[in-house]
Amino acid sequence: MSETTVAHNKTVPMLLGVVAVLLLAIIVVLVVGNGKDDSASTTDTSAADTNVSAPVSQPGMGASTGVEFDPATATKVAEGVTPEEHVTAYYQAILDKEFDKAFTMQPATSQMGNTAADFEATQLGYGMVSFTIEEATESGDTALVTVRQDLGANGMWAAQWTLVQYEGGWVVQSRAVGMAQ
């Protein structure tokens, strides 16, 4: 075998490895960034104490933290339903594959510019197998509900929902989501 053939045989696998790494990097950028300009997204510092960070926009689920909140247009919690019950019903709807229902229960800012079909595809990709309400507290006009989600092969995730009282009822202000620690 000539020296040229030996050098060529080592070069081809190295080039294939470089191409594979570049493709993986492109996929990660597309999946995490979803092709959208997330320059308006910020980390919700109120969630820092619960190890939950602001979400990256996903199809059907836009960011709800770091955006202007208008209680008049916010998602309303049904009359007589507590914030904890609302959040529990949201995750149960996902487990029951009632994606249209769950889509309308998330923060209004998360729904804007998204569709229930995209939301469904995202939820099916996440593969949630169970959830647990970790903590639910009310302090004055604000309620915080912290949830732990088991996404099977996608790991454990945490979410902190913030709900506020508005005109005699509860409305959903935001949901911060991140890997559980």
Mean pLDDT of the chain: 78
Q: What tens digit of pLDDT does each residue of 128-181 get?
A: 999 999 999 999 999 999 999 999 999 999 999 999 999 999 999 999 988 887
Cα 170 to Cα 165: distance, rounded to the nearest angstrom:
4
Q: What is the pLDDT of residue 178?
A: 87
Long-range contacts of 15-22 (CB under 8 A, 24+ apart): none
Give the residue from 84, 86, 64 showing the smallest Cα distance to 74.
64
Phi/psi of residue 53, nearest 5 degrees:
-110, 170
Q: In whole angstroms, give the CA distance from residue 1 to residue 8.
A: 11
pTM score of the predicted model: 0.67
Q: Label residue 71 by pLDDT band (50, 70, 90).
A: very high
What is the separation of C-alpha 114 from the centre of its chain, rounded to a whole number of angstroms? 13
Closest CA to 175 of 135, 148, 131, 144: 144
The per-residue pLDDT for 113 is 87
| Rounded Cα distance, 52 and 157, in Å | 8
Residues facing 169 on adjacent strands: 166
Cα–Cα distance measured from residue 76 to residue 69, given in angstroms and rounded to the nearest whole number: 13
List pLDDT tens digits, range 38-58: 333 333 333 334 444 444 445
CA–CA dist 167, 128 (Å, integer): 34
End-to-end CA distance of the chain: 54
